[in-house]
Amino acid sequence: MADPLVLFDRWFADAQANEPNDPNAMALATANCAASPSVRMVLLKGHGADGFVFYTNEESSKGEDLKGNPFAALLFHWKTLRRQVRIQGKVERVSGEDADTYFATRSRDSQLGAWASDQSRPLENRQVFETRYEQMKDRFEGQAIQRPPHWGGFRLVPSVFEFWQDRPHRLHERRLFVAEPDGSWREGLLYP
C-alpha cells in the first residue's frame, strides 16, 4: 500500500518541474459556522507529515471561517500534468515562531501590504488602500518589519487524500486514502 504523503511529494515534484504557473497554488474551501461555503486560491508554503501550511490575515473571511469551523479542503490542479489532488482535514494554527520565520522571507512590499490591508473588508476605493500602504512605508522606514498581530498561518492536517489522474475517454483513475485511527492509511479506488 502506498503512503499518500510520499505520493503527494512525487506528484508535487513533477508539478514543480513541469507546471508553468504556480505549482504550489491550491484552492482552499472553507465553511463558516452557518455551513455557508467559500473557496479561494492560496499558496502552499510548506508541507510534511504534520500537514499543509498556508499563511493569511487571520481576520480575513477564510481566517474567520476557520476560527468558527476548523475543517477545510484543498485542491491542487496541475493542468499540464492532467492531475489533481484533493485533501480534506482539520485545520490548526501554526506557531507564532513559524509565522514569524515565514513572514521574514516575504518581500518588503508584501510585508508592508500585510500591515496596510484589512483583507476581505469593504474598501471605499483603491486610493484608500494605496494611501495606507504609503503610510506603512513611512512608518517602517529604515527598520525591519515585524509580523502584524492579525497575520499568521494555518496547517491542514489531512484525513483524506484523493489522487486524480486524467485518462482517455474520461476513464480517469481515482485513488482514495482515508486516515485510520492508528495513523495508517486505508487505500481504495473510486469510479471515475
Which cell is 145 given? Answer: 518589519
SS3 28: strand
Angle (CA) 142-144-146 rounded to 5° is 140
Is there a contact between 92 and 176 (Cβ–Cβ < 8 Å)? no
Q: Which helix (H) or strand (E) holds 137?
A: helix 126-139
Among residues 82, 170, 174, 175, which one is catalytic? 170
Q: C-alpha distances in angstroms, 25 versus 74, 78, 97?
A: 10, 9, 24
The secondary structure of residue 169, as a DSSP letter, is: G
106 is catalytic: no
Catalytic residues: 170
